[in-house]
Amino acid sequence: MVKLWRCEICGDPYVGERPPTNCPFCGAHTKYIKEAKDAKADFDVKLSAKDKANAEHAIKVEVSNAAFYFCAAGKTDDTEGKLLFKALGKVEAEHASIWRKILKLDKNPSADDACHVSNKENLEDSHARETRAIEFYSKAAGESDNPRLKQIFNALVEIETDHLQLSEQRLK
């Protein structure tokens, strides 16, 4: 039987018989996807000064990474690379929208990150970006006392780790 599911990280709905392995919008693992009636996806979060600074840094990271991936999707010299970077760009843009909702911004900041024609160079850049994101989100999760923010930071560590593994597999 088809059900309505909701991702507790990005808040987006999904229709299907089962929850997906990963949220099709933000990439969150299945443990964060609940039947919509049971899902808790609150973005009205009270931010400490440190949490606000981390959320502001997070949106910049995600907007920058999305811009890079969309650039790479358009320029890379590899057909599969174009698909990978387009998919990653969409996921990173969704991550930025999570932070936009938490920071109560009308729109995401803009970024115009450069990329390469060489798929290998784009994969290397992707690897560095994902590594930095994982380190930042791990640190931010440890610094926050807010359970909702800890949940989001930890989920993003998992998602960015998935992205890191994708670049590592293709660099081999």
Range of the domain at 150: 49-171
Predicted pLDDT of residue 94 = 98
Tokens of 74: 């358009």
Indicate whether 44 belongs to any domain: no
Tokens of 30: 């299945």
Q: Is 3 helix (H, G, I), strand (E, B) or coil?
A: strand
Tokens of 168: 């590592």
Q: Mark whether 7 and 60 lie in a shared domain.
A: no
pLDDT tens string 105-144: 999 999 999 999 999 999 999 999 999 999 999 999 999 9
The low-confidence residues of the chain, meaning pLDDT below 50, are none
Predicted pLDDT of residue 145 = 97
Predicted pLDDT of residue 88 = 98
Q: Mark whether 123 and 53 lie in a shared domain.
A: yes
pTM of the model: 0.96
Which CATH number fits the domain that encloses residue 74?
Answer: 1.20.1260.10
Predicted pLDDT of residue 129 = 98
Q: What is the per-residue DSSP string for 47-60?
A: --HHHHHHHHHHHH
DSSP label at 8? T
Output the average pLDDT for the chain: 97
Q: Mark whether 151 and 79 lie in a shared domain.
A: yes
Predicted pLDDT of residue 52 = 98
Indicate whether 9 belongs to any domain: yes
Predicted pLDDT of residue 105 = 98
Predicted pLDDT of residue 133 = 98
DSSP label at 7? E
Predicted pLDDT of residue 92 = 98
Which CATH number fits the domain that encloses residue 27?
Answer: 2.20.28.10
